[in-house]
Amino acid sequence: MKVAYVQMEPTFLDPEKNYSKAERLVRKAREKGAQLVVLPELFDTGYNFESKNEVESVAGQIPDGPTTEFLVELAREEEVFIVGGTAEKDERGNLYNSAVIVGPLGWGYIGKYRKIHLFNREKLFFKPGNLGFHVFNIGIAKVGVMICFDWFFPESARTLALKGADIIAHPSNLVMPYAPKAMPIRALENRVYTITANRIGEERGLRFIGKSTIASPLAEVLAMGSEDSEEVAVVEVDLSLARDKRINERNDVFKDRRPQYYVL
Distances (CA, A) of 47 to 19, 44, 98, 203, 221: 15, 9, 12, 8, 27
Query: Does residue 41 carry a catalytic annotation?
Result: yes
**Cβ 203 to ligand ACM shortest distance, Å:** 11
How many CB atoms lie under 10 A from the CB of residue 102? 26
Q: Is 173 in the site for ligand ACM (CB under 6 A)?
A: yes
**Cβ 161 to ligand ACM shortest distance, Å:** 20
Q: Is 41 in the site for ligand ACM (CB under 6 A)?
A: yes
Q: Could you give the count of Cα atoms lying within 13 Å of 13 in the half-sphere of its Cβ?
A: 12
Pick the closer one to ligand ACM by CB: 12 or 149: 149
Pick the closer one to ligand ACM by CB: 191 or 199: 199
**Cβ 102 to ligand ACM shortest distance, Å:** 22
CB 194 within 8 A of CB 150: no
Per DSSP, 227 falls in state: S
Query: Does residue 155 carry a catalytic annotation?
Result: no
Q: Is 44 in the site for ligand ACM (CB under 6 A)?
A: no
Burial 208-228 (b: 16+ CB within 10 A, else e): bbbbbbbbbbeeeebbbbeeb
Radius of gyration of the chain (CA): 17
**Cβ 123 to ligand ACM shortest distance, Å:** 11
Task: Scan residues 134-163 and list those touching ligand ACM (CB under 6 A).
Answer: 148-149
Query: Does residue 115 carry a catalytic annotation?
Result: yes
Pick the closer one to ligand ACM by CB: 41 or 44: 41
Catalytic residue among 112, 122, 148, 211: 148
Q: Is 200 in the site for ligand ACM (CB under 6 A)?
A: no
Identify which of 80, 89, 70 has the alpha carbon closest to the alpha carbon of residue 22.
70
CB 113 within 8 A of CB 99: yes
| β partners of residue 113 | 99
Q: Is 197 in the site for ligand ACM (CB under 6 A)?
A: no
Backbone angles phi, psi at 48, to 5 degrees: -90, 70
**Cβ 98 to ligand ACM shortest distance, Å:** 13
Catalytic residue among 115, 122, 211, 230: 115
Q: Is 234 in the site for ligand ACM (CB under 6 A)?
A: no
Q: What is the DSSP string of 133-152?
A: --EEE-SS-EEEE--GGGGG
Q: Is 174 in the site for ligand ACM (CB under 6 A)?
A: yes
Which residues form the interface with ligand ACM (CB under 6 A)?
41, 119, 148-149, 173-175
Active site residues: 41, 115, 148
